[in-house]
Structure 1
């Protein structure tokens, strides 16, 4: 039980870190033009909404997800439709298994365009003060597994903890020690996950 409590604490801290990375400053939850990731929306429908990230304007066509949701809800969005098919299937099956245990797996990022990934990196540099520090949390467009559709980020503490305990049964593994929300299809079903990298600057 001690190990589980540690993992839960780690997940909570990591999830908090994710919000800090993505927001950089507090947003007003009562303001309909502000989003949880610190971006701002300017338009009317989900398909047409534009968001400010790292000084750039990105849309759903770049893989931006406005609100975390189950993968089945997001199935027709570019962020999910452009994922590697095997990864998409693994996350779907894992989500179904988690639902049977009362856990809703929420996805808040999947495939991203190169320009979206660069915008996130630029935002990270602004928030963390240097490229070296930003690279611990945001990969370059050339190295990011999001850009090639081979990674998903989870959106809630409960699903992160569930995936830590059960993800490998579907081939899903946490990639970086400091990003408990980032999962890739890194092993066979039920196989052993590879040793995690310290952070995204290592790979």
Structure 2
């Protein structure tokens, strides 16, 4: 377990710049595209831009697109599109894991959940700018067609202690780290208490 913890810490230090890319990149979204978004068991009307926004390269992204300015426990941001548009089973699993982590004195904050396709493309475009090539950017940011964030099937958690806790206990709730280089990225990839599938090298592998 100590080896795993040290590997996790090293991975987070090496990849800290990627978090900045994922949290800061943005794109302008036409108002006509801001319609309802299906969230599994309900349809959430995301409406016009509201709440926090980010400006990157002259483009704007808002909470309606899945943007979250600061991570927060899932219960505090359950009404936002980033959480409301997640797969319902994933939402419930993350909520249960968050409660269990709190009992251990660890606060799990959700830095990102569901994202609109145009927001995901903006993140990828920003990744190309930051990393110098599409191939390198794809190691950190998936395409809109393949992104599990766009599908509402992934969350990014923080901070370090929460990532460590999730790595050690997440599978109790069916939550698994799916990419070796993204210790913060979790998906509902197994049944509660089941074994997590082998991690892929990075998002370019799937």
Q: What interval of TM-score do these two structures reach, taking the shorter chain for normalisation? A: 0.7 to 0.9
Residues in 1 aligned to 2:148 and 2:12: alpha-carbon distance in whole angstroms: 24
Equivalent residue, structure 2, for 1:74: 77
- Partners of 2:5 and 2:175 in 1: how far apart? 22
Deviations 1:16-75 (A, max 9, x none): 2433434xxxxxxxxxxxxxx3469xxxxx934332246532110000001110000010
Contact kept? 2:25, 2:122, Cα under 8 Å = no
2:197 matched to which residue of 1?
194
In structure 2, C-alpha distance between the alignment counterparts of 1:141 and 1:20, rounded to whole Å: 19
1:56 and 2:59 are equivalent in the alignment: yes
Matched with 2:173 is 170
Whether contact under 8 Å (1:14, 1:179) holds in the other structure is no
Q: 1:39 to 1:18 in 2, by over 3 A?
A: closer
Match of 1:6 in 2: 6
Give per-residue Cα distances to partners, 1:66-99, cap 9 Å, x unaligned. Answer: 1110000010000000000000000000000000
Cα separation, 2, equivalents of 1:199 and 1:165: 20
Equivalent-residue separation in structure 2 for 1:53 and 1:147 (angstroms): 20
| Change over 3 Å in CA distance of 1:174–1:55 after alignment to 2 | farther
Do 2:177 and 2:185's aligned partners in 1 also have CA atoms closer than 8 Å? yes
Count of equivalent residues: 184
Contact 1:53 1:120 survives alignment (8 Å): no
Quickly say closer, same or farther: Cα 1:160–1:11, change in 2 above 3 A. farther
RMSD: 2.0
Say whether residues 1:112 and 2:131 are aligned partners.
no
Structure 2 residue ranges without an equivalent (≥5): 27-48
Structure 1: distance between partners of 2:77 and 2:85: 11
1:15 deviates by 5.8
Contact 1:55 1:123 in 2 (8 A): no
Counterpart-to-counterpart distance in 2, 1:49 and 1:137: 24
For structure 1, the 5+ residue unaligned runs are 23-36, 41-45
Pair 54,172 (structure 1): closer, same or farther in 2 beyond 3 Å: farther
Q: TM-score when scaled to structure 2?
A: 0.83
TM-score w.r.t. structure 1 length?
0.84
